[in-house]
Structure 1
Amino acid sequence: MGDRAVRNIFPLEDYLPQRTPQSLQVLLGQRGKHQKSGKLEVNTVTIEPIHMIALKVKGRMENFEAGQEVRKGWKKLKDIISSDRSITMEGNEGIVFYNQRNMLQSDGTVELWIGVKVSDIAHTPQECIRLTIPKRKYAKIDCCCFSRAEMNRRYTYLSEWIKENGYQIENGIDAFSLEPNRLDSFNPFEIPAHEIQAFDFDILYPII
């Protein structure tokens, strides 16, 4: 997600929300030691085609509305998956994704998608789309941290790294920025957007 959009969706950098699951505190406490040094690392990765089902969500940037709409979309998607035995979910990730060129709409809302990888599906559930994101090269940074200020720093660092290393963010019709949220220890979509203060996902920008 672009730096300006992130700052608008999460406008209160010093805001201290009320809830962080203990499991995530332990997880990020182990992973986040490198954060104290201030050093971040970006890698380039090539990801094979991703087969997904997803729901579109839209919301304004103010007052965490977009983040809350993502959570409503996740609940709806989870209910669809649990009620349809023909869907075989692959892995345990909730993926937020967006096309950077089309993310900000003319009415001031942000258009995002929330989806899951699937390995088998007999039909496309109502309200969902079924899509394949083609094989593509990405610039990747992990976002395992305990504050929105640190999360925003990683978005900024990734964007700057792409420019400094001679790449561009690809924004063709099927080029999506991906944010796979790991769900094994903690589900961020079950905590309100205005409360969450800890994050465990990757940021992947498609590059050319």
Structure 2
Amino acid sequence: MRHLPKILLVLYIILFSVLAIEPYDRATWLVENIPVLIAVSILALWHRSFVFSNTAYILMWAFLSYHTLGGHWSFERVPFDYGNQLISSFGLDFIFPEGRNNFDRVGHFFVGVFAYPIVEFLVRSSLVNNRFVALLFAIFAIGFWAASYEIIEMYYAVIEGGTSGSLFLGSQGDVWDAQKDMLLDMCGAILFGFLAIITIPKDHKN
């Protein structure tokens, strides 16, 4: 579908505009949406020189929309009761403990969707000669971003302090929150990166 990227962009702009109205905490909303707006801007400008597959655009749109929802309420206050109940049924309490709003933890897993366009770009641009190498690069790239983002969160929480700092950090009392978030980022990257290497059309032989 040729115009899908433009349709998704319009849908995102509408969603962003609605969720920009009276967020729970304006300062938290701002810092949460800065990286999202940067990503959207890069994708919009890059579209002129490189067009990703519809699958890649849908995955990225889904994550960016999910993150924007989190920024509106602040992640730990998003209505996510049904999601928490569903997660608890899988017995993953170590990473998704009961009594905690796990909307942000799920979001960290879906950060991994960006491994899909990374692999796709590397393969289709012939920047690597092996799909497995492209997969490894995508995983390492997501891991680097995950660690960097946790450092940014920590510095903001220390410098800003107060409610905004606590909401942006989003640890919800878990001292291992940063490590679990990075683990989920990497798990998502492995899944979506592998999905990319098996779904990119076979005419891309690299």
Normalised by the length of structure 2, the TM-score is 0.26
More helix by share: 2
Structure 1 or 2: more strand by fraction: 1
Instruction: Choose between structure 1 and 2 for higher RCO, CA contacts under 8 A separated by at least 6 residues.
Output: 1
Q: Larger radius of gyration, structure 1 or 2?
A: 2
